[in-house]
Amino acid sequence: MSSSRQDPEARVRARATQRRLGKASRAARAQLAATVVLGCLATALIIAQATLLAHIVVDAFLGGASLSALVPQLAWLLAVSLARGTVDLGFEATGRIGASRVMAELRSRLVRHLLKERPGALSGERSGALAAATVQGVDALEAYYARYMPQAVLAALTPLAILAWAVPRDWEAAAILAVTAPLVPVFMVLIGRLAEGATRRRWQRLSRLSARFFDLVGGLETLRANGRAEAQADSIAAAGESYRRETMATLRVGFLSALVLELLAMIGVALVAATVGIQLAEGSLGLTAGLTVLILAPEVYMPLRRLGSEFHAGADAMAAAEAIFEVLDRPVAVSAPADPIPAPDPLDAPLLLEGVEFSHAGREPVLRGVDLRLAPGETVALVGPSGGGKSTLLSLLLRLAEPDAGAIRCGGVDLRDVDPEAWRRRVAWVPQRPTIFAGTIADNIALGRPDAPRSEIEDAALDAMLGPVVGSLSEGLDTRVGDGGRRLSAGQAQRIGLARAFLLDAPLLLLDEPTAHLDAGTEREVVAAVEHLAAGRTALIVAHREAAVRGADRVVELRDGRITTPDGSPSDLLGHIWPKRSEGLGGVTA
């Protein structure tokens, strides 16, 4: 696509982004209204201050007024100056308060969208890009709402008010101001178009740098073990250097705009000063009027110059807003019905998957017409090759995603007609690698029930075979783990995941390879905990190892996106699914 076509498209996109930023500012309507009021008041005080100052100068130097005679005027000047400073402070404060409210609202929308509407779709996202949008992106909007928008209000009000005040006093100087002042925003727009591309490129570089850094932090041990740490450090340095170059290019445009705007303002003020001087020499203009216009002339350009200096903040905000709205515009992965049906109980009715199909965006179908029935209180083991869609099937049952075709029903109720949050309260899920958050062990166990009594947390830890682990720690359940705390082994993390499920006490249990990455001794303990946990619940256990499914009522196989193994008892099917250890396949242990 040629640049001639890209520019109009970029401008259309920018206008759409500006409209959406305007809608987003509704969260701070009161603050924005206060900004407009304070802007009007500040403009009135600017005019009053200039008029008072002109009268004082004329009375003092030409009228021969004594200091005592000037005291009332000086008192008024001091009061107006203090009032102007107070209004300026309030103007900035209301802008910042409004900005903080808009930023909080946008962050809330991003979190709701990512965690509630696209929970199962985040695995395909780059964490660094999301972090750039939700952290740096939202932060970049502070300058837009706190400085750029308020300054735009002043730039619209102050020049017009000063021109209206100056016309009856000196129409010639007012005409010069009326002609030269609009040149400032014209050049600002021209330079802004030049800066737009550089700003967008800089933001893209920042997103890529963030994504790259997140990837490296997550795989630091693997990189060091494979001798690639230095090479990756060089790549980060190269990405940082690229970002520095784009930043400097943007700043050069910003400095150029400041120079041009200062030059225009200086020329405008010089022309006004020359015109006023000529009129004073000819006697066609009174000194008080001329001095008032001369004092007010820089104030015409001041808000326009400040708006120009904040223009790069507006450009940064536009680039950041495009990234934010791109995230918000991604389609909803899980929809909530407008009139939800009460969530059914998997212990009262069977859970049915009927012709379920699913594919990730741009990929081949993962599930191709899956039919499966989970009877109340039944434990079913789901086995099959890696990449066959087992974890995807669990995501559908968790309502982290929705099937492309087919339906998932419980007691005749389609789960799409149920509020996702209400259904998830019926489900306890233990993933392959439970995430351990920064906090105490007790906090991590109580993740799904933060208000659970301490006694129940302790019981859940004992049921999950965490007793020996907790007993070996000086602070017990209050030991801090996760980022900045004690590191846990895979088995210990797995048992914390099981303890969460015990504490939830949900009727439907979903386990994704609970014995993966465990040694034989830990595996036996986890298997015993899983059997205890599954008792009296409807359970679906994804497994690659034979020991994890010994206690299952049925074993079914998912292969090529379909359930291919007929229903039967574990003893009938284990030999079909797992070869004997003597065949040396798969490293299976009993």
What pLDDT, on a 0 to 100 scale, did the predictor assign at position 39? 84
Is the predicted pLDDT of residue 321 greater than 80, yes or no? no
What pLDDT, on a 0 to 100 scale, did the predictor assign at position 582? 32
Q: Please, how many CA atoms are within 13 Å of residue 408, restricted to the half-sphere of its CB?
A: 26
User: In sequence order, what are the beta bridge partners of 342?
Assistant: none
What pLDDT, on a 0 to 100 scale, did the predictor assign at position 68? 78
Nearest by Cα to 556 from 538, 541, 537 = 541
| End-to-end CA separation in angstroms for the chain | 61
Residue range 60-98, pLDDT digits in tens: 877 777 777 878 888 998 999 999 889 888 888 887 887
**pTM for this prediction:** 0.62
* Cα–Cα distance measured from residue 30 to residue 98, given in angstroms and rounded to the nearest whole number: 8
Q: Please, which pLDDT band fits residue 548 given cuts at 50, 70 and 90?
A: low
Nearest by Cα to 257 from 298, 313, 311, 200 = 311
* Residues 533, 553 contacting (CB under 8 angstroms): no
Give residue 139's identity as a one-letter amino acid code: D
Nearest by Cα to 53 from 77, 32, 82 = 77
Residue range 501-531, pLDDT digits in tens: 889 888 999 988 877 766 777 778 778 888 8
Strand, coil or helix: 170: coil
Is the predicted pLDDT of residue 320 greater than 90, yes or no? no
Is the predicted pLDDT of residue 171 greater than 50, yes or no? yes
Q: Please, which pLDDT band fits residue 207 given cuts at 50, 70 and 90?
A: low
How far is the CA of 104 from the CAs of 27, 117, 136, 147, 148, in angstroms?
Answer: 9, 19, 13, 17, 18
Nearest by Cα to 149 from 306, 284, 42, 6 = 306
CB within 8 Å of 440: residues ≥ 6 apart: 475, 477, 478, 479, 480, 481
Is the predicted pLDDT of residue 493 greater than 70, yes or no? yes
The sign of the CA dihedral 520, 523, 525, 527 is negative
Range in 281-290, 291-300, 320-329, 477-486 the model is least confident about = 320-329
What pLDDT, on a 0 to 100 scale, did the predictor assign at position 82? 93
* Cα–Cα distance measured from residue 444 to residue 480, given in angstroms and rounded to the nearest whole number: 10
Q: Report the pLDDT averaged over residues 125-129.
A: 53
Q: Token digits for 238?
A: 């190269």
Is the predicted pLDDT of residue 380 greater than 70, yes or no? yes
Nearest by Cα to 260 from 308, 298, 312 = 308
Q: In what order do the strands lie in the sheet with 365-374?
A: 365-374, 351-359, 405-410, 413-414
What pLDDT, on a 0 to 100 scale, did the predictor assign at position 312? 64
Specify the DSSP element, H or E, that contains 55. Answer: helix 29-61
What pLDDT, on a 0 to 100 scale, did the predictor assign at position 590? 29
What pLDDT, on a 0 to 100 scale, did the predictor assign at position 504? 87
What pLDDT, on a 0 to 100 scale, did the predictor assign at position 94? 84
Q: Please, which pLDDT band fits residue 301 given cuts at 50, 70 and 90?
A: confident
Strand, coil or helix: 538: strand
What pLDDT, on a 0 to 100 scale, did the predictor assign at position 180? 84
Range ranked top by mean pLDDT from 110-119, 330-339, 442-451, 473-482 = 442-451
* Cα–Cα distance measured from residue 581 to residue 486, given in angstroms and rounded to the nearest whole number: 37
* Cα–Cα distance measured from residue 219 to residue 481, given in angstroms and rounded to the nearest whole number: 20
Q: Which residue has the higher pLDDT, 102 or 219?
A: 102
What pLDDT, on a 0 to 100 scale, did the predictor assign at position 3? 39
Count of H helices and E strands in the chain? Answer: 20, 12
Give residue 555's identity as a one-letter amino acid code: V
For the chain, state the CA radius of gyration.
Answer: 34
Q: Report the pLDDT averaged over residues 196-207.
A: 66
Q: Please, which pLDDT band fits residue 177 given cuts at 50, 70 and 90?
A: confident
Q: In terms of DSSP bridges, do strands 538-542 and 508-512 run parallel, antiparallel, or are they unpaired?
A: parallel
CB within 8 Å of 202: residues ≥ 6 apart: 243, 246, 247, 249, 250, 319
Residue range 239-275, pLDDT digits in tens: 677 777 777 776 676 677 667 777 888 888 888 888 8
Q: Please, which pLDDT band fits residue 324 given cuts at 50, 70 and 90?
A: confident
Average pLDDT of the chain, as a whole number:
77
What pLDDT, on a 0 to 100 scale, did the predictor assign at position 6? 44
Across 74-141, where does the E strand assignment appear? none
Nearest by Cα to 101 from 151, 38, 33, 156 = 33
Q: Which residue has the higher pLDDT, 109 or 40?
A: 40
Nearest by Cα to 518 from 530, 534, 504 = 530
Domains of the chain, each with CATH number or no CATH: 20-328 (1.20.1560.10), 351-426+506-578 (3.40.50.300), 436-495 (no CATH)
SS in 3 state form for 135-158? HHHHHHHHHHHHHHHHHHHHHHHH
* Residues 358, 389 contacting (CB under 8 angstroms): yes
Q: Which residue has the higher pLDDT, 258 or 337?
A: 337
Q: Where are the alpha helices (DSSP H) in 479-540?
A: 490-504, 520-534
**Which percentage of the chain shows pLDDT scores above 90?**
2
Q: Token digits for 387?
A: 């990449």
Q: Please, which pLDDT band fits residue 137 given cuts at 50, 70 and 90?
A: low
**Which percentage of the chain shows pLDDT scores above 70?**
71
Q: Report the pLDDT averaged over residues 344-357.
A: 89
Q: Which residue has the higher pLDDT, 557 or 328?
A: 557
What pLDDT, on a 0 to 100 scale, did the predictor assign at position 508? 92
* Cα–Cα distance measured from residue 141 to residue 29, given in angstroms and rounded to the nearest whole number: 16
What pLDDT, on a 0 to 100 scale, did the predictor assign at position 79? 92
Q: Token digits for 19?
A: 């409209």
